[in-house]
Structure 1
Amino acid sequence: MADAKLPHAKLIDGKAFALGLRQRVGAGVAELVATGAPKPGLATVLVGADPASQVYVRSKGKLAAELGMASFDHRLPAETTEAELLALIATLNADPAINGILVQLPLPRHIDTSHVLLAVDPAKDVDGFHPINVGRLGSIAAGAPLDFPVPCTPLGISMLLQDALKSLSGLHAVVIGRSNLVGRPVAQLLLRADCTVTITHSRTRDLPGLCRQADIVVVAIGKREFVRGDWIKPGAAVIDVGINRIVAAEGKTKLVGDAAFAEILPVAGHLTPVPGGVGPMTVACLMFNTLQAARRAAGLKVVSV
């Protein structure tokens, strides 16, 4: 039985928050269209027939339509050349009906992903992966408005933390993982919120000791149950970005995160479950970014984050 003096974490319900965000985006789309502006347009591009990617792209297009957006679905065969894909992106860049372009990753090996991401118009880069947008995030001042696309998962993490903790100012955040997709942009968003941020990685010395000093721990390292309960300061917020499939009872599989959920639950103040924590926020933030891009294209102020 857990020590009664220790807090029992409040679960951060990413699924519920994402639903609320989607509803706000839907209302924002209706408000935008009421001004006479066209529907926000989201173009998805899938190269090949990877089943998981097909599901992801289908769900994104379906949600965009449900929220009142125009959805443009482009399915290309696996043998599509890099030149052909770049030509399609150039066409989408020039189409005023399209505000957001999402190229589903991974791409076939014969296509250079960096060339493709660089080809997307930064204003339509609703994934937030274009180097120009990455650079903007790295140079943004504390509290400055996010008037450019921000990577969806880090943006979702920031929203969840702001909602759970209200003020992040002065808190010490330890980010485990330095990837360009999650770790680094999360660190930049936390700096913007006036956190003191420590970025850690596989070569960090005394990682457990650093975590024990943290008010916020964000783990995105891709190793199941890597962060243990005795690493966490009582009352800290733990954001688990990991998605690891393991074999459970009777040969069935289940998803677990990068944090040892059962160990951390009696210690932390706030904790995201896996699944149902960070995951649902990614697609919701993609829709949010598309609405923001449409508002910018219409010369309107973006919605504050």
Structure 2
Amino acid sequence: MQTPMILDGKALAKSVEQELQVRVQRIKDKTGRVPVLATIIVGNDPASVTYVRMKGNACNRVGIRPLKIEMPEESTTEDVIRQIQALNEDPDVHGILLQHPVPRHIDEMACFNSIDLAKDVDGVNTNTFGRMSMQMDAFKSATPLGIITLLKHYNIPLEGREAVVIGRSPILGKPVAMMLLNENATVTICHSKTKDLPEVVRRADIVVAAVGKPEFVKADWVKEGCVLVDAGYNPGNIGDIDLKNAIAKCSAYTPVPGGVGPMTISSLIRQTVESAERKFGITNG
């Protein structure tokens, strides 16, 4: 069997950023304006603080302005929605991101659904999800978009392939399943109530693991030659797939770190640039 191909999200994200730098410069040259991505963070969860910093750094690398809005832990759902509505109405803001997760007392979905669809560059509004699923014009959930972009870049066939998605979260499992379906894959969504999960996974040509449990998918669950997409990230740089044992069986895989993670941020920044281009009537290319 050939050596498995590494689906290098870090390298692809760097390449995408170089393209985005050119597009952002074009916006600046034509309008004198700088695209802005507003990020709301509620509380001070250490992981969220790190993610927001990484997203801000990516904004700076491509030339767009990160606008960080920090809200106290005790903020209410109404407080967050008021802040989102102010950003919806701000003509200088082109993308809005509410950092997930928010404190438990906040209705996260109500907040997501208050984001203007034209600025929903993280693809979290349920209307965005519906439009994306129906193949209408819409931004897409950032991590699923990153996964599809990565698979296509490496010429992984999707049409007619059997894909198994493990996890059904509204911002990862469900949207990536819909996007794979829209690429004409045959999709099975698995979750905690799925019976005989290892047997279901063994059918898959493509496995997307998004359960948030370290090394949950075992090597003997995957068939020879499958493609492994590990969308999990757990303490110690460990994904949701037992990659060290499963790599030998697969044809391609996303490393952890350096696979899906960089593509999530890349997709977020890309859609912010697209939002600004639409706002200013600039056609890419």
Give the structure-1-normalised TM-score: 0.87
CA 1:48–1:235 in 2, change beyond 3 Å: closer, same or farther?
same
1:188 aligns with 2:170: no
The CA RMSD over aligned residues, in Å, is 1.9
In structure 2, the residue corresponding to 1:179 is in which secondary structure? coil
Note the C-alpha offset of 1:99: 0.5
CA 1:139–1:75 in 2, change beyond 3 Å: closer, same or farther?
same
Residue 3 of structure 1 is matched in structure 2 by none
What is the distance in 2 between the residues matched to 1:115 and 1:187?
A: 23
Residue 249 of structure 2 is matched in structure 1 by 267
Counterpart residue type for residue 59 of structure 2? A
Asked if structure 1 preserves the Cα contact closer than 8 Å seen for 2:23 and 2:284, the reply is: no
Identity, % of aligned positions: 42
Residue 262 of structure 2 is matched in structure 1 by 280
1:151 aligns with 2:133: no
Gaps of 5+ in 1: 1-5, 141-145, 246-253
Gaps of 5+ in 2: none
In structure 2, the residue corresponding to 1:150 is in which secondary structure? coil
What is the distance in 2 between the residues matched to 1:218 and 1:209?
A: 15
1:43 aligns with 2:33: no
Residue 79 of structure 1 is matched in structure 2 by 74
Counterpart residue type for residue 227 of structure 2? A
1:117 aligns with 2:112: yes
Q: Which has the larger radius of gyration?
A: 1
Note the C-alpha offset of 1:166: 4.5
Deviations 1:62-93 (A, max 9, x none): 32122111222222222334333322221111
Query: Equivalent residues in 2 for 1:69-108 (5 A)?
Result: 69-108=64-103
What is the distance in 2 between the residues matched to 1:232 and 1:201?
A: 16
Residue 179 of structure 1 is matched in structure 2 by 169
Deviations 1:9-59 (A, max 9, x none): 222111111111222222221123333363211111122233332222222
Q: How many residues are matched? A: 285
Note the C-alpha offset of 1:220: 0.9
What is the distance in 1 between the residues matched to 2:284 and 2:34?
A: 16
1:137 to 132, 137, 140: 132
What is the distance in 2 between the residues matched to 1:206 and 1:56?
A: 35
Counterpart residue type for residue 208 of structure 2? V
Give the structure-2-normalised TM-score: 0.92
In structure 2, the residue corresponding to 1:43 is in which secondary structure? strand
Deviations 1:193-235 (A, max 9, x none): 1211111222223322222222111111222222222222221
What is the distance in 2 between the residues matched to 1:87 and 1:284?
A: 28
What is the distance in 2 between the residues matched to 1:7 and 1:19?
A: 27
